[in-house]
Amino acid sequence: MAQGWPRRRYRERRPWWRRPPQKQVLAAIALVLLAWLSTFLPGQMGLRCRSWIDQWVLGDYPRFPQQWSESLAVVLARWGLWEPPAEAVMVSAPLSGQLLRPFHPAEHPGVDIAGNAGEPVTCLFAGQVIEIGERLEEGTLVKVESPGGLVVLYCGLESTVVALGDEVAAGELLGYLAAREPAHLHLEVWRGLTPLDPLPLLPR
Closest CA to 174 of 117, 123, 140: 123
* CA 132/CA 44 separation, integer angstroms: 47
| Number of neighbours of residue 192 by Cβ within 10 angstroms | 8
* 172 plus 149 within the same structural domain: yes
- Dump pLDDT digits (tens) for 75-98: 676 666 666 555 445 555 788 888
104: left (phi over 0), alpha (psi -120 to 50) or beta: beta
- Is residue 120 within 8 Å of 136, Cβ to Cβ? no
The full 3-state SS of 155-175, as one line of letters, equals EEEEEECCCCCCEECCCCEEE
Alpha helices by DSSP H, listed for 14-90, are: 20-38, 43-57, 66-78
| Number of compact structural domains in the chain | 2
- Dump pLDDT digits (tens) for 98-146: 888 888 888 889 999 999 999 999 998 888 999 999 987 788 999 999 8
* 18 plus 93 within the same structural domain: no
pTM higher than 0.95: no
- Domain end, chosen from 47, 78, 109, is at 78
Q: In which domain, by residue range, is 44 found?
A: 4-78
Q: Are strands 120-122 and 173-177 parallel, antiparallel or unpaired?
A: antiparallel
CATH number at residue 161: 2.70.70.10
